[in-house]
Structure 1
Amino acid sequence: MQTPIELSFKHVEPSEEIKELVYSKAEHLEKFFDGITSCHVYIRAPHKSQRTGNLYAVTIEVRVPGTELVVRHDQNDVNEHQHLAVAIRDAFSAMAIELKRWKNQIGGEVKTHDGPLQGKIAEINHDEDYGQIIATDNRLIYFHRNSVVDGDFDDLQQRDTVELVVQTGDSPIGPQASTVRPIGSMEFDPATTPSRR
């Protein structure tokens, strides 16, 4: 892996045991593809139920040459995700499948990648938990409150700059961001950067 694994916790007490599990699972991903450039893991306990306790949400974002692969296991996924280790295991298993699928798709042909996709918030609707981003490749991309990482949806404003990963696969509402990360300033400008499509 070209950069160190990044691990973020939200509403979860980080333990050495969990950190070691994540690092071990992330390193294991390189068995499926040895050209991974970065791996970000986000662990959250966003919802507490009186019946089932904390149900953990684990998001894994892996960057490979030419694209980003994202796996998100939400808190409503399965009751077993009351156990953080199980939620982590399931998320990494799903990412291994994504890596294998992507490797089969490219068939050995790897494209270069000119950096993470960035953009500015074009619309934000705090009451209805969604917004839209005009990206550096000139696409208008929808995002939901739950896709915001390393920041708070309620703090976002129109014209704020963000880094984003777009979900693979079609969505009935068009391109949709799987993760949105607020950043200080945009590295690329849609007005001067040619479309990467």
Structure 2
Amino acid sequence: MKPTAPVPLEIHFRHLAYSEALETHIRHQADKLGKFHPSIHNCHVTIEQLHRHHTQGNHFHVRMAVKVPGHELIADRQPDQNHAYTDVYVAIRDAFDAMRRQLEDLVRHQQGHVKQHEERPHGHITEIAPDKTFGRIESVDGRWLYFHRNSLVGEDLDKLQIGTPVYYVEDIGDEGPQASSVHPIGKHHILV
């Protein structure tokens, strides 16, 4: 396997002192992304330290934007009530894992390796949280599935609305059925 070129990378630290160790770690993770897509034009990573109560410790928000030909993919890891990112390395790991999955899905789609099933799971968005971090999908058989904004492939939850039709992969989460790899359906959205 031939080595991949370094991924063009921009790193921004907000409310957090510059850290050479963090930068080295992020560069290493970004270069690994090159194995999952052959043409990454740019990877932009922002790490923000959020100020919380002293008893809860520091929380971190990691946002990634990766540009490839014809697409911009977003992975956004924010602390929430269920999972507070108090370890910056965990937040970075999760953001890169989410981006890797999106790149793999995109490459499979572009190469035509997505299995075509007669009945792919689909439905429409019935709820979007006011803070735009999650939503719910109603399947064609009337079931409701939770999805997180990081499950969206090729689109940002801010740009979608209630009623948007979607394809998805169904998984079982901590609290029951949930949707992952959510693909909005429409003329401006990726179809797989």
TM-score bracket, shorter-length normalisation: 0.5 to 0.7
1:55 CA drift (Å): 1.0
1:48 pairs with 32, 52, 59, which one? 52
Whether 1:104 aligns to 2:111 is no
Identity of aligned residues (%): 31
Mapped to 2, the partners of 1:39 and 1:29 lie a distance apart of 9
1:18 matched residue in structure 2 = 22
Which residue pairs with 2:33 in the alignment?
Answer: 29
Give the drift of 1:53.
Answer: 1.0
Do residues 78 (structure 1) and 90 (structure 2) align? no
Give the SS at the match of 2:92. Answer: helix
Q: Which runs of 5+ in 1 are unaligned?
A: 109-127, 130-164, 175-195
Partner of 1:119: none
Q: Is the 8 A contact 1:38 1:64 kept in 2?
A: yes
Aligned match of 2:162: 172
Q: Number of paired residues?
A: 123
Structure 2 CA distance for aligned equivalents of residues 36 and 53 of structure 1? 35
Q: Deviations over 1:65-103 (max 9, x none)?
A: 111000000122623x21111111111011101111111
Question: In structure 1, what is the Cα distance between the partners aligned to 2:160 and 2:111?
Answer: 22
| TM-score, normalised via structure 1 length | 0.54
Q: What SS does the corresponding residue of 2:59 show, helix, strand or coil?
A: strand
The 2-side partners of 1:45 and 1:173 are apart by 35
Give the TM-score, by structure 2 length: 0.55
Specify whether residues 33 and 171 from structure 1 end up closer, same or farther in structure 2 by C-alpha distance, changes over 3 A only: same
How much does 1:26 deviate? 0.3
In structure 2, the CA distance between the partners of 1:96 and 1:70, relative to structure 1 (3 Å rule), is same
Secondary structure at 1:20 match in 2: helix
Deviation at 1:4, TM superposition (A): 2.8
SS in 2 for 1:82: coil
Contact 2:7–2:30 (Cα < 8 Å) also in 1:
no
- Runs of 4 or more, structure 1, over 4 Å off, are none
Q: Cα deviations across residues 22-52 of structure 1 (Å, max 9, x unaligned)?
A: 0000000011112111100010012323332
For the residue of structure 1 that corresponds to 2:11, the secondary structure is strand
- Is the 2:6–2:31 Cα contact (8 Å) retained in structure 1? no
Q: 2:8 aligns with which of 4, 17, 20?
A: 4
Query: What is the RMSD computed on CA atoms of the aligned residues?
Result: 3.1
Instruction: Report matched runs for 1:174-193 at 5 Å.
Output: none
Q: Separation in 2 of the partners of 1:57 and 1:26?
A: 17
